[in-house]
């Protein structure tokens, strides 16, 4: 980590911790949002929402892995 500003040594670890915590806790955050919304839905509406919820979680984590792969490939160019 390179400090280019006076406050960089203070804010860089805080930003890094915030980003990592969002990635780690994304599954639990999505579950809590779903539990809040699902209480107001009928049974058939819940069944309709399962596929978008599963696919959005899957695409979130695949996108993160794709960015990591893209970064590694671009390092060799």
**30 and 57 in contact (C-beta within 8 Å)?**
yes
Position 18 in a domain:
yes
pLDDT tier at 9, thresholds 50, 70, 90: confident
**Domain enclosing residue 45, as ranges:** 8-75
**26 and 33 in contact (C-beta within 8 Å)?**
no
Q: What is the mean pLDDT of residues 18-28?
A: 85
Position 21 in a domain:
yes
The count of structural domains within the chain is: 1
Residue partners of 13: CB distance under 8 A and separation at least 6: none
Q: What is the mean pLDDT of residues 6-31?
A: 84
pLDDT tens for residues 27-75? 788 889 888 988 998 989 888 888 887 888 788 777 777 777 777 777 7
Position 2 in a domain:
no
Q: What is the mean pLDDT of residues 9-19?
A: 85
Q: What is the pLDDT of residue 36?
A: 93
Position 3 in a domain:
no
Position 1 in a domain:
no
Position 19 in a domain:
yes
């Amino acid at each position: 980590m390179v400090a280019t500003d006076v406050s960089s040594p203070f804010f860089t670890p805080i930003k890094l911790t915030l980003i990592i915590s969002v990635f780690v806790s994304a599954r639990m955050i999505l579950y809590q949002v779903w539990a809040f919304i699902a209480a107001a839905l009928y049974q058939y509406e819940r069944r309709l929402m399962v596929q978008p919820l599963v696919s959005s979680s899957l695409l979130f984590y695949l996108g993160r892995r794709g960015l990591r792969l893209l970064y590694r490939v671009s390092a060799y160019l």
